[in-house]
């Protein structure tokens, strides 16, 4: 089975982000005025990873004829479903900023982890080493930025614990 549709990776991953453009958190934190050099570097690394991870799938076709391709597709479905579940939780909990980062079933930063797992599985389904490399770059930046934002939210008392 050969499906000419690597672009679906990007579309499916960014679909909930289209809603986010119109439905921002009701209690979002202001941008940090004095970001550390490390955090600026991580944000730039995240952007480079995003560019590669979102553009590269357009150059590839799904390769699902093998067992590995089918396993990769199953991993994509599971990770994307869990990612969408987290988006649903964000909306159902009143679009509070903290829910973009709160653990799910003991999994830290699920809205950062699940899209990364989706992209990693997609790199296998598309047989794309460049996509795997871009995902690795994205992972370093995205996980660092997400952990930092979660920490800021908790420090600001947005989790109701402060």
Q: Is 16 part of any domain? A: no
Q: Is 147 part of any domain? A: yes
Q: Is 37 part of any domain? A: no
**How many structural domains are present in the chain?**
1
Q: Which residue has the tokens 């988006």?
A: 87
Average pLDDT rounded to a whole number, residues 126-130: 94
52 pLDDT higher than 50: yes
Q: Is 24 part of any domain? A: no
Min mean pLDDT across 29-38, 45-54, 92-101, 135-144 is at 29-38
The whole-model pTM stands at 0.89
Residue 88 belongs to domain spanning: 63-156
90 pLDDT higher than 50: yes
Q: Is 138 part of any domain? A: yes
Cα distance between residue 35 and residue 144, in whole Å? 13
User: For residue 67, what are the contacts with CB-CB under 8 A and spacing of at least 6?
Assistant: none
64 pLDDT higher than 70: yes
78 pLDDT higher than 90: yes
Q: Is 116 part of any domain? A: yes
What does the mean pLDDT of the chain come to? 89
């Amino acid at each position: 089975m050969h499906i000419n549709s690597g672009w679906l990776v990007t579309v499916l991953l960014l679909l909930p982000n289209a809603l986010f453009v119109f439905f921002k958190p009701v209690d979002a934190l202001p941008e940090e005025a004095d970001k550390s050099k490390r955090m600026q570097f991580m944000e730039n690394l995240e952007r480079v990873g995003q560019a590669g991870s979102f553009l590269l799938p357009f150059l590839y076709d799904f390769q699902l004829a093998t067992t590995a391709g089918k396993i990769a597709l199953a991993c994509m479905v599971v990770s994307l479903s869990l990612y969408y579940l987290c988006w649903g939780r964000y909306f159902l909990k009143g679009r509070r900023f903290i829910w973009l980062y709160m653990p799910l079933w003991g999994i830290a930063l699920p809205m950062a982890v699940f899209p990364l797992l989706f992209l990693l599985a997609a790199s296998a389904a598309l047989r794309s080493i460049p996509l795997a490399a871009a995902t690795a770059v994205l992972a370093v930046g995205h996980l660092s930025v997400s952990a930092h934002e979660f920490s800021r939210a908790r420090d600001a008392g947005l989790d109701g614990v402060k």
